[in-house]
Amino acid sequence: MRKNAAFLFLSLFLLVFFACDLAIPKAIEIIGTPSTKFAEIVDVGKMFTDLLSDAINEKEGLTMIPCPETDIVTSLIHAELLDKEFDDLEDKTDIHIIFPDASPDLPDFIDVKELDDDKILIAFNPENRLIVPLSELGSLLPGFEFFHGDDSIDDDKGIYETKLYFSGADILEKSRIRIKIDEIEVKEDGEIEYKPIDIPKDNFDATYKSSDINKWKEEGYTGKSCPLGGTEIDIPITGKDISILFEIYIPAGKKLILDDFKAGKINVEVVVWLPFKFIAVDDDAALHFPDDSFFSSEDDLFGRDEPDSDSLIANVIESLSVDVKFNDNIFMGKDLVISSKGVDIHNLIESDWLSFTLTEDNMKEINEPENWPFIPDIKIGFTKGNKLVFPKEFNAIEFAFKAKLRYRKDFK
């Protein structure tokens, strides 16, 4: 929508130009309130899903699949943790060729009556850490978490789910998988901290069925709820990056024989059903629009190169109103905040138009050198407990601009 701002100023100056008398004047004074309105469909929901899909596409082993049949913007995120094939073991000492992470003493326990202790087949390994990158999206929704249900009302629509698929070779009949989940926090000095997330259950039996990822990739996912199969994992999703680690082990009490290790594969997958429904967990929760949604995120809105630069646009415009109409206003009653250095403007949203005005006082603040550059950050404020739902069709459909102009130029 950056081009809209350029179109606004071009339109205003064309209006001014054609309003002038062509005779050579001693002075020119421009007073008026030109406006322009035009229709343009901008998919706002896609702005946010694109942030997530771009981040996921950069990660090996992750796939994001849209869910077009849901009422709420929803995606499936598929994580491939392990897809390992192996040949028959002719000798139990070969187990470390096939499973280099296996416990060094594991071959000693093959052909015994039963195991006295758990034996690791594939160990936790930071090199196998898989990151689900949610922070890019979460940075635009500070104070929000993905909706996790509300015990006070019967409201299960739009709740995210996470499922584990653990399937493959015969050895899995005697194996279990343990999952370790960390929330990733980047400190101010850039150091990465992995914070363990407690989950009610962290170890699971094999599901003996893989997900339908290959079908979803080719045909898309047409379901209106989380896919069947797999085992549900209760992972809180807050909007920060999540780290997933796993280990596969044979529990104590199991008996191992060489035939357990005949040719096969081990497949470990995680599928996240992720509707774009959020709940505010802080009173200062906010939705920030992505950079360049309305105006440039790099340059002063009025074209000033330096704090003391003179700007014809800024000098001519006494006040400026911008209105954006949505097909479904999910922001009714919320606080629209336009902020930049030294400038903070609040507008209550009372209709299906998202409207804000730069008043004469605001323009004076904007023109102060210490408040340069004016690069507006646009956000919608929410209070704790408010829900934010992205409907399937969530578009900006119309734009309107109106300016109050006053300019005088005396000729010598």
Which pLDDT tens digit goes with each residue over 370-388?
998 888 888 999 999 999 9
Reduced to 3 states (helix: H, G, I; strand: E, B; else coil), residue 218 is: helix
The answer, yes or no, to whether residue 8 has pLDDT greater than 50, is no
Exposure letters 10-27 (e unless 16+ CB within 10 A, then b)? ebbeebbeeeeeeeeeee
Least confident interval from 29-33, 36-40, 67-71, 350-354: 29-33
Nearest alpha carbon to residue 266 among 142, 82, 100, 56:
82
Which helix (H) or strand (E) covers residue 132, if one does? strand 130-132
Question: Which H or E run includes 219?
Answer: helix 213-219
pLDDT of res. 12: 45
Output the pLDDT for position 28: 60
The C-alpha angle 138, 144, 150, rounded to 5 degrees, equals 135
Whether 242 and 160 have beta carbons less than 8 Å apart is answered as no
Do the Cβ atoms of 318 and 354 come closer than 8 Å? no
Confidence bin at 178 (pLDDT 50/70/90):
very high
Q: Which residues pair with 74 in a beta bridge?
A: 275
Mean pLDDT of the chain: 85
Question: Who has greater pLDDT, 154 or 119?
Answer: 119
Instruction: In whole angstroms, give the CA distance from residue 1 to residue 294.
Output: 5
Question: What type of residue is 302?
Answer: F
Q: Categorize the per-residue pLDDT at 227 as very low, low, confident or very high, splitting at 50, 70 and 90.
A: very high
Measured at the CA of 250, the angle between CA 249 and CA 252, to 5 degrees, comes to 125
pLDDT of residue 294: 67
> From the CB of residue 91, how many other CB atoms can be counted at a distance below 10 Å?
9
* Helices within 165-297 (DSSP H only): 213-219
**Letter for the amino acid at 109?**
F
What integer pLDDT is reported at residue 358 of this predicted model?
86
- Take residue 256 and report the two structure tokens written for it: 């191992």
For 259, which DSSP code? Answer: G
Mean pLDDT over 278-307 rounds to 83
Adjacent-strand bridge partners of 181: 244
| Joined tokens for residue 55 | 């981040």
- What is the pTM (predicted TM-score) of this model? 0.84
Q: What is the C-alpha to C-alpha distance for residues 276 and 45, in angstroms, rounded to an integer? A: 9
Report whether 61 contacts 80 (CB < 8 A).
yes
